[in-house]
Amino acid sequence: MDQYLQQGMYGPRETKPDERRLFLGSLRERVIIALTKGQVLRPQAYREVIDALHSKADATLLLNGEIDYSHLSPYIKESNKQGVPFSIVSDQQSDTPLGLVLAAREAVEKESIYVQDDIFEQSVLNKR
């Protein structure tokens, strides 16, 4: 009975809340590719993300709402072109170093999800 009341007052319990905050609402096991905020700010869109959008129509592109729309725009245009739904995540409760996550509906368990370049090397994620 207590659990029923708690759920009514606070909503259903969420599995792996820290992981969901990091991956813009998704889980690590579903992530196909991810970019840091700094990588999304790069003037040129990442080819790896574009290629992943071409091959994963059953995925959703999650974008960090803290980033200016002008930086998100190339990825939004490409996702629309490929028919991949996107969502801009504006969660004021959490601070994630990620700026973009392409997540599948089901677990893909991909070992390497980050584009590891000079910008990634300077990020907080590389120091974990």
- Token duo for residue 78: 């490409």
Distances (CA, A) of 117 to 26, 36, 38, 39: 23, 11, 11, 9
Q: What is the pLDDT of residue 46?
A: 96
Rounded CA gap, 32 and 101, in Å?
Answer: 8
Rounded CA gap, 18 and 41, in Å?
Answer: 24
Q: pLDDT class for 21, splitting at 50, 70, 90? A: confident
Q: What is the pLDDT of residue 28?
A: 94
Average pLDDT, the chain: 87
> Per CATH, is 18-127 categorized as 3.40.50.300?
no
Q: pLDDT class for 127, splitting at 50, 70, 90? A: low
Query: What is the rounded average pLDDT of the residues 45-50?
Result: 96
Q: pLDDT class for 7, splitting at 50, 70, 90? A: low
Q: pLDDT class for 56, splitting at 50, 70, 90? A: confident
Name, in order, each residue with C-beta under 8 angstroms of 126's C-beta and a sequence gap of 6 or more: 116, 120
Q: Domain boundaries in the chain? A: 18-127
**pLDDT(8) > 70:** no
Q: Give residue-wise pLDDT tens across range 60-104.
A: 999 999 999 999 999 999 999 999 999 999 976 778 999 999 999
